[in-house]
Amino acid sequence: MSDESLGSPFFIAFFITSIFLVFIGKSSKIEAVAFLTGPANSKNNNIIPSGNVTFTQNACGENVHVRVYLTGIVPGKHGFHVHEKGDLTNGCTSMGAHYNPEKLNHGGRTDEIRHVGDLGNLEANELGIVDTTFTDHLISLTGPRTIIGRGLVVHETIDDLGKGNHPDSKKTGNSGGRVACGVIGVNIVSAEWPCMVHSSGSSNKIILTLKILLSFLVFVLLKL
Ligand SMILES: [Cu+2]
Ligand SMILES: [Zn+2]
């Protein structure tokens, strides 16, 4: 191969396009949303709680970003969990237990031992509004720990995160009744969903880089 071909505009364009494809073009973003509501609360001027929770995962296996905006919630802290069922037959009570595929004890969101569904507490301000974001490393919108189609529940009282003395502490965090809930459904899906290979976003990028390097090699060999 001559030196001129390496420096040709076509060659440079090919290389730039390849890099662009690896880092930008190969998005496998998924977003899910749950609309939460519950019965009018007699302890809260009969206000009906409502609002949305969105879950965003930018690539298979990556952390999930959670955005919460709820109104009509009694001021203070409230347990917040993904429950195993997306069943609203009998309101929030039919959503089953905390989503716990690994059969571990209940815990807090940042604890090593926790249910996959344990998302800690939400805090409503004096106006009854919860407006917060956080990122979780354990829930997923794809693969074996997907929360799609499951229930999302806000409880009446604070979750003790498995550290209380109550017998239910290590099972539920003893956070009382269920004041608002909804089913987690798909909102935005890009081309790669569901992830057919359970690999992390970074290893997907490595595989794609190898594919591009291989096609680059074929291209070079054809030019020889
Ligand atoms: Cu719960
Ligand atoms: Zn739990």
Q: What is the pLDDT of residue 2?
A: 47
Residue 196 has pLDDT above 80, yes or no: no
Task: State the distance from the centre of ligand 1 to the C-alpha of 83, rounded, in angstroms.
Answer: 6
Kindly state whether residue 112 falls inside one of the protein's structural domains.
yes
Kindly state whether residue 45 falls inside one of the protein's structural domains.
yes
Kindly state whether residue 9 falls inside one of the protein's structural domains.
no
**Mean pLDDT throughout 187-191?**
79
Is residue 115 annotated as part of the catalytic site, yes or no? Answer: yes
Task: State the distance from the centre of ligand 2 to the C-alpha of 171, rounded, in angstroms.
Answer: 6
Task: State the distance from the centre of ligand 1 to the C-alpha of 118, rounded, in angstroms.
Answer: 8
Kindly state whether residue 191 falls inside one of the protein's structural domains.
no
Task: State the distance from the centre of ligand 1 to the C-alpha of 77, rounded, in angstroms.
Answer: 13
CATH of the domain at 156: 2.60.40.200
User: pLDDT tens digits for 58-87?
Assistant: 988 899 999 999 999 999 999 999 999 999
Kindly state whether residue 193 falls inside one of the protein's structural domains.
no
Indicate which residue of 109, 114, 115, 150 is catalytic: 115
How many angstroms separate the CA atoms of 72 and 75, rounded? 9
Is residue 150 annotated as part of the catalytic site, yes or no? Answer: no
Number of domains into which the chain is organized = 1
Tell me which residue range forms the domain holding 82. Answer: 30-186
Kindly state whether residue 200 falls inside one of the protein's structural domains.
no
Element (H, E) at 223: helix 201-223
Indicate which residue of 78, 109, 114, 118 is catalytic: 118
Kindly state whether residue 215 falls inside one of the protein's structural domains.
no
**Range scoring the smallest mean pLDDT among 25-29, 50-54, 122-126, 201-205:** 201-205
What count of Cα atoms within 13 Å lies in the side-chain half-sphere of residue 141?
A: 29
Q: What is the pLDDT of residue 1?
A: 44
Cβ neighbourhood burial of 151 (10 Å; 0-12, 13-18, 19+): buried
Q: What is the pLDDT of residue 25?
A: 44
